[in-house]
Structure 1
């Protein structure tokens, strides 16, 4: 099962840096902008350093601080430090409990640590905030699959497809569930749908 990853928060923060009123001191914002640029370029160590300096400067707009914690969490997760990433996503949720990407990305970090129950809880939180979040449904399905609960995995993938029927990964994942359930024809239908959406995609039919 392949969970879906999300880095859209960094784009939101980029907009924030550009749009923040000038009355906010520039030092922290300059560090934040440098950190976001480093994150976009894949220089995660520099991104973490610069975003940490920006956060610690106390010069960032408090009402948007959660976005910078998510951005640093993304850098830490990409750098392989899942526990630190979880801390950042948790800090973001403390500042804004209604920001679904923080819950979603924390779930991804928990998934990477094989903490599937915690991942399911975080994906469920993301869905409580945004009920039409197909990526959260897909990833929650993957976590249920890892736990061996095929019916719950199937239900999540089917809901995800109802929301976003153009994502080949969801069909691929559901097809693997059908395989595990001993329903090869349904699995084949999903794998063929994967190929229809993305002819270059690899499936068990190859």
Structure 2
């Protein structure tokens, strides 16, 4: 399997490439992202709109483009309103800035620059917020392809809060991109020490085993991950490839059929 495909699969497994699927028009359409319901919206309501539209709560790949645009527009408008109203400060403002940054990060050029600026301000407001470094690190990995900056962010996130399995899984993806599979595997193993039920860690470790030709261990990890996420279409695809490599053609075809069924229903 080509190295770039291995990395892409790992990113899908960690949930990174599924972060958000915003059509290109969304990043540059100011009218679209300024759309809000006509009725007054409370601070709590705005916060929910802003947060639920961010890249941390992705829609399925099968979602209609207009629905994605509408949600993105309402979320961005809600984030802007919260920030512009100047009623928030400190950690509360940092959280909103992070949500807006997640909405902007998949864009290009100016949109990505705005996202980085929001991440930077959020971290300045709450320098002890580990998730802020994690979220900026993911943006640096996915959209900036800045591996050095992404790794620095994840190192900080883990230093601040070593109890989060997802941090190690994301750092493992960065290390995979950077051609350091041994360190990536160490992070995945540690993630499973922190949280033995981490679907993302199991999936990524299964992919690492698969790439190394250790099919029995790969299948064990995919089986365990599917027990935790039985509707994850991508996992059936990964296990199908492993089953085929192991000579189980019937099992491979059964997993492919399940994957296609889930995809047709809009599962990730």
**TM-score range relative to shorter protein:** 0.7 to 0.9
Which one of 79, 84, 107 corresponds to residue 149 of structure 2?
Answer: 84
Residue 118 of structure 1: CA displacement?
2.0
Question: 1:110-142 CA distances to partner (integer Å, 9 max, x unpaired)?
Answer: 222342222222222222222111122111111
The higher-RCO structure (CA 8 Å, 6+ apart) is 2
Matched-pair contact (CA < 8 Å) for 1:36–1:51: no
In the alignment, which of 208, 228, 231 is matched to residue 143 of structure 1? 208
Report the CA distance shift for 1:141/1:25 in structure 2 as closer, same or farther (over 3 A).
Answer: closer
SS of 1:198's equivalent in the other structure is helix
Structure 1 pair 93/185, CA: closer, same or farther in 2 (3 Å)?
same
Aligned partner of 1:68 among 123, 128, 132: 132
Q: TM-score, normalised by structure 1?
A: 0.77
Matching of residue 101 in structure 1 with residue 169 in structure 2: no
RMSD of equivalent CA atoms: 3.1
Q: Structure 1 residues 22, 171: closer, same or farther in 2, change over 3 A? A: closer
Q: 1:104 deviation in Å? A: 1.5
User: Is 1:111 aligned to 2:179, yes or no?
Assistant: no
TM-score between the two structures when normalised by the length of structure 2? 0.61
For 2:115, the equivalent position in structure 1 comes to: 47
Structure 1 unaligned regions, length at least 5: 13-17, 202-206
Q: Give CA deviations for 1:14-47 in whole Å, capped at 9, x if unaligned.
A: xxxx8xx977499xx46x7445413312233332
Length, aligned pairs only: 188
| Displacement after TM superposition at 1:96 (Å) | 0.6
Q: Give per-residue Cα distances to partners, 1:141-165, cap 9 Å, x unaligned.
A: 1111122221221111111112211
SS of 1:166's partner is coil
Structure 2: runs of 5+ lacking an equivalent: 1-5, 20-50, 58-81
Aligned to 1:204: none
**Match 2:100 to one of 37, 52, 55:** 37
1:196 aligns with 2:264: no
C-alpha distance in 2 between matches for 1:173 and 1:25:
39
Structure 1 residue 89: deviation in Å?
0.7
Q: Secondary structure at the match of 1:132?
A: coil
The ranges of structure 1 where at least 4 consecutive aligned residues each deviate by more than 3 angstroms after the TM superposition are: 6-12, 21-26, 32-36
Q: 1:74 to 1:23 in 2, by over 3 A?
A: closer
| SS in structure 1 of the partner of residue 264 of structure 2 | coil
Q: 1:33 & 1:103 partners in 2: Cα distance?
A: 24
